[in-house]
Amino acid sequence: MGPAFELNSYMPVIILMGLAAMIVILGHFVSVFLSPKKIDKYNKKDHAYECGEEPVATAWAAFSIRFYVVGLIFIIFDVESVLIFPVAAVFREFNQAGMGAIVLFEILFFVFILVAGIAYCWRKGDLDWIKSFQSIPKRKNNSIQLNGEQE
């Protein structure tokens, strides 16, 4: 069970990756070789599609912050669930050895952290796709009126 064994069992993975990359690259070159190259008379053909109009500005503009919030929540949850994996994998062995309660406590602890996290995000309104301003507590003598979106 040296390092050679580990290398061997990952060999098919690398071969499959290589085959997939080869399919894509070969497909591309065959397509380039066979496909027609029509002259673009009006110099309009390779515009990005925008319902037939000339594209207005670039698409690489500022984007809705909701996507980043979802990304952040995902990272936290993903790391947490990755940490449960080793515990879950040895659970049965430990249970047969009579130490199931320890592992159960461990899993409950992990799940408690996850549930606390989801409850916090829920309470803060970060799980709603449209976050209304009403969940932000207003100060009493606020001169600026926050006209919140009413859903």
Partner 1 sequence: MTSTLSSYIQSIPYIKENLYWLTEMLGPEVTAFVIFFIGAFIVANVMALVGGLGTYAERKISADIQQRIGPNRVGPLGILQFLADGVKMIMKENIVPRDADKFLYYLGPLLCMVGIFAACAVLPISSGFILADLNVGVFYLLAISSLVGLGILLGGYSSNSKWSMLGGMRGASQIISYEIPVTISILAIVVLSGGLSFGKIVQSQSGLPTEWYVFHNPFTFIAFIVYFIASLAEANRAPFDLPEAESELVSGYHTEFTGMRFAFFALAEYVEVFVLCTVASALFLGGYNVPFRLGGDSLLGQVLQTIVFFSKTCFLYYVVIWIRWTLPRLRVDQLMTLCWKYLTPIALFNLVGVSIWLVIFDGKSLLQLIKGLF
- Residues of span 45-64 touching partner 1 by CB under 8 A: 45-51, 55, 58-60, 63-64
Q: Which of 19, 120, 134, 138 binds partner 1 (CB under 8 A)?
A: 19
Nearest to 120, CA basis, from 72, 87, 56, 49: 72
Binding-site string for partner 1 from residue 82 to residue 121, where x marks contact by CB under 8 A and - marks none: x-xx--xxxxxx-x----xx-xx--xx--x--xx--x--x
CB of 100 to partner 1, least distance (A): 4
Q: What is the total residue count of the chain?
A: 151
Q: Which of 3, 39, 129, 145 binds partner 1 (CB under 8 A)?
A: 129
For residue 68 the two structure tokens come to 């980043």
Residue 103 and residue 91 in contact, taking contact as beta carbons nearer than 8 Å: yes
Q: Give whichever of 86 and 140 is closer to partner 1, judged by the CB atom.
A: 86
How far is the C-alpha of 34 from the C-alpha of 40, rounded, in Å? 18
